Amino acid sequence: MPINRAAWRNVQFYDASTGTALGGFYQKGSLTEATLIWILGSVVLILDDQWTVKHRESGRTITPSSNLIVPGDYDIYNAEPIQLSNEAWFTRLISHAASGQEDAFRDGIRARDGKCVISGEVNEGVEWGVWAGFQAAHAFPLEHESLWIQYNYGRWITNMGDVVGSSKINSIQNGLLMSENLHTRFDQYLFSVNPDDGYKIITFMPNNWGIDGRILDPICRDPGNPDREPVFETDFPSGTDMMATLRAEPYSKERFEMEIASRLRRTARKGRSSSLNDEFSN
């Protein structure tokens, strides 16, 4: 049964000209105004160059700053009618090892990370080979391998050479070690990692997990380790009618969080090292 994410939203967005509700999300405490502006202008909505968003209660215009988002209603002002992006989001399934390649993926992730890179929980059972409660998660969903192949994302994998007949989706570079409960939540888009904001972890529902605002453990992205996560140049290309897809899915109420989390989790564009504050202040 789909999760009713609308039930806990404490931030809502509206078209200022029509009053139409556009979506919303839950602010646990770490989402900044800079990230919000990027989400609205670059991910979720199609807007002109002069659009603004205001916090309704205070009347304050939101700027690309490090200020934390205040829960409440926000009105978006745009000269043209506001449109939702047609870029696709993809449901995720929890992946479990079912082949020799995936066994190697799991073992490689365990050897590299040795801990949950989200919470920082160290596996004290390593020396006895006990990994109960820890799982290797695919950053790019394994169930969407056809898209990985279609858009040649394997070209960013640097630790497998020119392996013939392999998409490289099971490269260690496409994985993270997580505690079992966080892996489940990761695959349900209940939290994400923003590589453009210092690899900050953002959660999207009320929780006591202790991870909101944490930084992804550097052990999985050490530039000196050939098995570190790769740096991708592009996000998923557009082309899918997002709204038509959503209307046909049981997840329509989840659109906003799903799209945000899906995009935030993708690795930063190649060569991009500036923070969101730097990007929007230029």
Q: What is the pLDDT of residues 223-275, one digit of tens each?
A: 888 777 654 333 333 333 333 433 444 444 344 444 455 555 443 333 333 33
Farthest-apart Cα atoms in the chain, separation: 63
- Please give the pLDDT value at position 70: 96
Sign of the CA dihedral running 125, 130, 132, 137? positive
**Residue 7 reports pLDDT greater than 70:** yes
- Please give the pLDDT value at position 112: 94
More confident residue, 85 or 211: 211
pLDDT digits (tens, 9 = 90+) for 184-233: 999 888 999 888 888 999 999 999 999 999 999 999 988 888 777 654 33
- Please give the pLDDT value at position 124: 95
- The CA R_g of the chain, rounded to the nearest whole Å, is 19
Strand pairing category for 200-203 and 191-194: antiparallel
**Residue 44 reports pLDDT greater than 50:** yes
DSSP for 117-168 reads TTT--B-TTGGGT--TTEEEEESS-GGGHHHHHHTTGGGG--SS-S-TT---
**What angle is formed at CA 62 by the lines to CA 57 and CA 66, rounded to 5 degrees?**
120
What single DSSP character describes residue 256? H
Could you tell me if 276 and 38 are in contact, meaning their C-beta atoms sit under 8 angstroms apart? yes
**Residue 174 reports pLDDT greater than 60:** yes
Amino acid code (one letter) for 200: K
Q: Which residues contact 125 (CB under 8 A, 6 or more apart)?
A: 131, 132
Nearest-angstrom CA–CA distance, 240 and 249: 14
Determine the 3-state secondary structure of 240 from DSSP.
Answer: coil
Q: Which band of pLDDT confidence, cut at 50, 70 and 90, is reported for residue 148?
A: confident
- Mean pLDDT computed over every residue of the chain: 78
Q: Which residues contact 273 (CB under 8 A, 6 or more apart)?
A: none
Nearest-angstrom CA–CA distance, 239 and 252: 19
Token pair 């290309």: residue: 237
Q: What is the mean pLDDT of residues 60-85?
A: 92
Nearest-angstrom CA–CA distance, 78 and 81: 7
Q: Which band of pLDDT confidence, cut at 50, 70 and 90, is reported for residue 59?
A: very high
Q: What is the mean pLDDT of residues 111-130?
A: 95
**Helices of type H across the chain:** 33-38, 100-113, 145-150, 180-187, 242-248, 255-265, 276-281
Nearest-angstrom CA–CA distance, 176 and 105: 10
What single DSSP character describes residue 277? H
